[in-house]
Amino acid sequence: MSKIIIAIDGYSSCGKSTTAKKAAASMGYSYIDTGAMYRAVTLYFIQNHVSLSNSKEVETALNNITIEFRINAVGQNQTYLNGLNVEDEIRKLYVADKVSEVSAIAAVRHAMVDQQRKMGKKKGFVMDGRDIGTVVFPDAELKIFMTADPFIRAHRRQIELMTKGEVLDLEDILENIKKRDVIDTTRTESPLKKAEDAVVIDTTFMTLDEQVDQVILMADMVVLKKWKA
């Protein structure tokens, strides 16, 4: 049967990336982590002291950024920024605290969308982010919008950070999540919103396996419907 494009959008810390990765692996699809792309740009901007209000500095920086995804020896998707593995660094809170602000810049979004479309020219991939079903691939055969209670999202994020050696107060993480939600949903350029034909998955009371199974089930139904048509 033919493969499709699966676009997963939604709020931060809803489980989008992990669900997308596992669903892609189970289905034999490719996985493109757009959130990691914006985090990598944010890391570059921070490290190189790029002024977000200076359009020339932003454009110059974007022209010097190359982002790749490589699979390591144990099958994990790793983000590379200009040839360097930055997978762990881009997950730290100081990057998370700035990523929504950087993502709101039109030039940044245009550059990343262009890269994402080039990566996704072939069918058979899962891509997650904030505007995949609305802007990047509005014709995706399956669009999913993920949401969850902010407190649950903060708790999940705290656990994730703890596994990486970062111990942070739950209230600080919750504040960061709420701040990102406001920026993501109110920005002028490609705001976070549900595509009209997207299926909503509320992960508040779902396990990761249940989320993955739900995505795979919906994808199978779409593929079967296309095959019968």
What the chain holds in terms of domains, given with CATH numbers, is 5-223 (3.40.50.300)
pLDDT at residue 28 in the model: 87
128 φ, ψ (degrees, to nearest 5): -120, 155
Burial track 207-225 (b if 16+ CB lie within 10 A, e otherwise):
eeeebbbbbbebbeeebee
Residue range 125-146: average pLDDT?
Answer: 94
CB atoms within 10 A of CB 177: 19
**Token pair listed for 143:** 């669009």
pLDDT one-digit tens code per residue, 33-79: 888 999 999 999 999 999 999 999 999 999 999 998 887 888 778 89
pLDDT one-digit tens code per residue, 96-105: 999 989 998 9
pLDDT at residue 75 in the model: 75
